[in-house]
Amino acid sequence: MSEQETTIEDRNFRRYQWFVRTTALAIAIGLLWGGSVAVPALSPFIALAAWLATRTFRVLTVLGLVVTVIVLVHPRWFCRWLCPLGLCAEGASRLGRRWGRRPRKSTPLGQWILWLTLGGALFGWPLLLWLDPLVIFAGLFGLTTLRSVPAACLTTLPALAVLLLSLAWPHIWCGQLCPLGALQDLLSHPGRRWHKRAVSTSDSGLPLARRAILGAAVGAASASALRLTGTAATRPLRPPGAIAKPEFLTVCVRCGNCIRVCPTRIIEPDLGRHGLTSLMSPVLHFQNGYCREDCTRCTRVCPSGALTPLTRKFKRRVRIGLPQVDMNVCLLGEDRECSECRRWCPYDAIRYVFSETEYCLIPQIDPAKCNGCGACEMACPVKPKKAIVVVPLG
Amino acid sequence: MDKRMNRRECLRALGLSGLVGGVGLLGSRSAQAQRVGESSGFQSSIIAGRKIEANRGNATLAGGKVIQPRRELPILHETDVLVVGAGPAGVTAAIAARRSGARVAMVERYGHFGGLWTGGLVLLILGHIVEGRKQVCQGIGEEIMRRLDKIDGAIVDRRPGVNPTADAEAVKYVMLEMIEEAGVEVFLHCWGVDTILDGSTVRGAVFESKSGRQAILAKAVVDATGDGDVFAAAGAEFAHCSHNVGLVSRIGNLDRIDKGRVQEGAKPRRLGSHTPVPGVNWVNLTGPEVDGLDIKTLTRMEMNHRKFIWKNMQRTRRLPGYEKVYLMETAPQIGVRITRVLNGVNRVQLSDLKAVTQFPDVVGVGGSTNGQHGPWQIPYGALVPAKVDGVLASGRCISMNLDMADLVRLIPNCFVTGHAAGVAAAVSVEQNCQPRDVDVTKVQKILKQQEAYLG
């Protein structure tokens, strides 16, 4: 496409496209800024991988399906018209070109990411799902929603990496790295010759079918290996409805939706306290708030199914953890006046029982009533270490 | 003036009796001693002889049952507002009612003011603050604390957002001073036992003392007994609740712990919290959840707690370095927390605290132990019994859901409800109406004039 030969229609069309894309970007920014959760759910990549991994259908998946249908008809429709990260990457690429950087032909890593993730997803571990462009874009808004500065910086890192890559090697993200782009290519040419070696891209030269099988196999093998190695040493507290399996670590795409919608701001991204695999995944902190008995928002906004949607009634019985009392620091052990945990418990699960031997009251938790909402931990006035702390089950 | 006269008379009597004694005229001495309440100049003298009278109104044993016959009671006093109980709520109510222009009488079971704050040795003032360290306990309660501020060694930790600790004797003194300044008629060592009813309206109270059973007539009664003895006797509806019954003690010589000999990991528990007196701590005891109205239970609690406190102190003293620590005193009053809870026109409840409910008839704002909750409004209806007239509740027995019991019973919140009940009782007398019909806006106006905080 040489610039001189563009007709007026072409120019008009490009203006129109430019207008739509900037509008889409503005809308995405607005939505994410306002705390909306629909943006990551638009991705067919997330919809597909999450469905493979969890085998459950979610309401939010409909958004991804709609995009999928359109993409089947119009190749790379999403990239051309909607993708906010794509527009940012393109801007960076243009800047890069102006500075004299040239595009670099290399292996279409996006396809490998796609196959690896889908293969892993079959075994419950969608390994690289977090490289979805919408998730990366949503990460930019960590700064507006997260209170912890290191976490906010960390969520923006992938997006910054994409921009820097695009500056260095223009168009590398959209053309070669983006797994969503690779998925769209695949969807729009279902009838392409799978056995033929790719001509246009100078990849490893493997036919598509072999690439798919190899990638998926590697993904599946890694997923199986992960499954065998078992859980991390310290399992953190997850939001209610979190899938109990260790697969949570990769089904969760770290989009930050749950963190954004939590009204009591008890969900925070893990900054590596529970191992590198858990990095940026949502963990609960009951220092300043608890999981409210009238709220199920986080479970309804998860685009990947890491959190199962709950009803309020059912949430009552979904256990996040169980509180444990340390009588060495509990005020009742020193006979000080305190009934905070009992007063705050929304489920009336705490009783103070007098111990004749200790001659003081000891808080007792009824596991049948308690769902680990953390109200007691929030209410505990002991500082800095709370006397009653919700710990994960098992 | 009276006292000086008495002293002069006394001196004269002394001189006279000495003289008389010397001369040997014994007749004049016995004439002096006949006047009740005056010194004869000797260490003891006969005030009156005892004559056995028929039909004295004793309880009699008839057919295996003990029968108390009807009898007329002497009326000791008549007043506008009668306050039963002189704890934090009662003292505040009496002062508030008096300052609102009513004549006030107050009866108290013990010989001092302050109730569980002083007699119960619960020295820590918990519950005067809310979120953001704001102090919601103002008015007379704050005035008491300000007076304590001026006395050396009477109160410590008087900083924003911190719970102060007072000295029991200083509190007793300050309350006495304020009661006297206000001009409240006080009857100590009087245990309010019954109400005088006119239909369903309380017209005073009957109390028992060393002077026997007597009555005080009043136009309005404030129940500051804590246990709701007055409204219960009047037939008001209430919930009979159990709560923890403990016994507080004070320990001394904590400044003489030999720190060099204290072993790591062998630190004793229950050394309590500091008081304004150096080296002295007050030690709380929560105790089991029991019925604080059952006399057998109370006796058992008192005895068990005393045994435990003594033995625990002996254990502490056996630890290296702690040999000089000793048990100064156990509280004269057992620590009963919640017994009767009024069923009132309205009630204080946790859901309102969480929802930050605003009541049009707010008469006070409650605080929380460490200021961990927001301010919660106390509606006037929580002090008014649902059915009985002529009586207002104050202190820990006001109308509430039990989920609020541990906030309502705190000392500053008792100041707040006492203040409101005292003013409302005075307004009901002035307006010549029942407490339930008083003009609450007027009550609110007077409360604000008396520097109470209503939100």
Least confident span in A43-52, A142-151, A170-179, B164-173: A142-151
CB contact under 8 A, A332 and B286: yes
A335 → closest Cβ in B270, B370, B406: B270
Q: Of B415, B420, B416, B406, nearest to B353 (Cα)?
A: B406
At B8 the pLDDT is 52
Q: What is the ipTM of this complex?
A: 0.76
The phi and psi torsions of B65 (rounded to 5 degrees) equal -110, 150
Q: What is the mean pLDDT of residues B193-204?
A: 94
A335 → closest Cβ in B126, B286, B369: B286
Closest chain A residue to B403, measured at CA: A343
Structure tokens at B375: 């301010």
Res. B376 pLDDT band, cuts 50 70 90: very high
Query: Which of A290, A326, A331, A337 to mutate to probe the B interface, most B CBs <10 Å?
Result: A337
Q: What is the mean pLDDT of residues A113-133?
A: 81
Higher pLDDT, A257 or B450: B450
Judging contacts by C-beta atoms under 8 Å, the chain B residues touching residue A361 are 244, 286
Q: What is the mean pLDDT of residues A19-32?
A: 81
Calculate how close chain A gets to B414, using CA atoms only, in Å.
16
Cα(B451)–Cα(B13) distance, integer angstroms: 50
Cα(A142)–Cα(B291) distance, integer angstroms: 55
Higher pLDDT, B32 or A129: A129
Predicted confidence (pLDDT) per residue in A52-78, tens digit = 877 777 777 788 888 888 888 888 888
Predicted confidence (pLDDT) per residue in A342-393, tens digit = 988 999 999 999 999 889 999 999 999 999 999 999 999 998 889 999 998 8
SS (H, E, C) A314-353: HHCCCCCCEEEECCCCCHHHHCCCCCHHHHHCCCCCEEEE
Least confident span in A120-129, A131-140, B112-121, B281-290: A120-129
Judging contacts by C-beta atoms under 8 Å, the chain A residues touching residue B127 are none
Q: What is the mean pLDDT of residues B213-242?
A: 96
Judging contacts by C-beta atoms under 8 Å, the chain A residues touching residue B124 are 337
Judging contacts by C-beta atoms under 8 Å, the chain A residues touching residue B289 are 352, 354
Predicted confidence (pLDDT) per residue in A78-106, tens digit = 888 888 888 888 888 888 888 888 887 77
- Is there a contact between A139 and A133 (Cβ–Cβ < 8 Å)? no
CB contact under 8 A, B246 and A335: yes
Over chain A, what is the mean pLDDT? 81
For residue B138, how many C-alpha atoms fall within 13 Å in the half-sphere facing its CB?
17
Structure tokens at B50: 């005892």
Res. B320 pLDDT band, cuts 50 70 90: very high
Parallel, antiparallel or unpaired: strands B243-246 and B289-290: antiparallel
Domain limits, chain A: 3-229, 320-394
Q: Of A114, A151, A107, A153, nearest to A133 (Cα)?
A: A114
Structure tokens at A292: 């409210």
CB contact under 8 A, B244 and A354: yes
Higher pLDDT, B35 or A165: A165
CB contact under 8 A, A339 and B270: no
A339 → closest Cβ in B287, B370, B406: B406
Among A151-165, A171-185, B437-451, the range of highest mean pLDDT: B437-451
Percent of chain A at pLDDT above 70? 87
pLDDT tops 60 at residue B367: yes
Judging contacts by C-beta atoms under 8 Å, the chain B residues touching residue A330 are none
Predicted confidence (pLDDT) per residue in B306-315, tens digit = 999 999 999 9
Percent of chain B at pLDDT above 70? 91
Judging contacts by C-beta atoms under 8 Å, the chain B residues touching residue A334 are 269-270
CB contact under 8 A, B283 and A335: yes
Higher pLDDT, B344 or A192: B344
**First and final C-alpha spacing in chain A:** 62
Closest chain B residue to A355, measured at CA: B288
Higher pLDDT, A328 or A41: A328
At B234 the pLDDT is 96
Q: Is the pTM of this model over 0.95?
A: no
Calculate how close chain A gets to B244, using CA atoms only, in Å.
9
Q: May I ask the CATH architecture of the domain A320-394? A: 2-Layer Sandwich (3.30)
A334 → closest Cβ in B269, B308, B369: B269
Calculate how close chain A gets to B283, using CA atoms only, in Å.
8
Predicted confidence (pLDDT) per residue in B136-155, tens digit = 999 999 999 999 999 999 99
Q: What is the mean pLDDT of residues A315-328?
A: 90
Least confident span in A19-33, B8-22, B190-204, B345-359: B8-22
Cα(B305)–Cα(A359) distance, integer angstroms: 9
Least confident span in A120-134, B147-161, B291-305, B400-414: A120-134
Judging contacts by C-beta atoms under 8 Å, the chain B residues touching residue A335 are 246, 270, 283-286
Collect all residues from B whose CB is shorter than 8 A from any CB in A.
Answer: 124, 126, 244, 246, 269-270, 273, 283-289, 308, 312, 350, 369-370, 372, 403, 406
What CA dihedral angle connects A204, A210, A215 and A219, to 10 degrees?
-160
At B430 the pLDDT is 96
B369 → closest Cβ in A332, A337, A352: A337
Q: Torsion-angle region of residue B166: left (phi > 0), alpha (psi -120 to 50) or beta? A: beta
pLDDT tops 90 at residue B45: no
A361 → closest Cβ in B124, B283, B286: B286
Judging contacts by C-beta atoms under 8 Å, the chain A residues touching residue B273 are 336
Cα(B4)–Cα(B14) distance, integer angstroms: 15
pLDDT tops 90 at residue B381: yes
Q: What is the mean pLDDT of residues A178-198?
A: 71
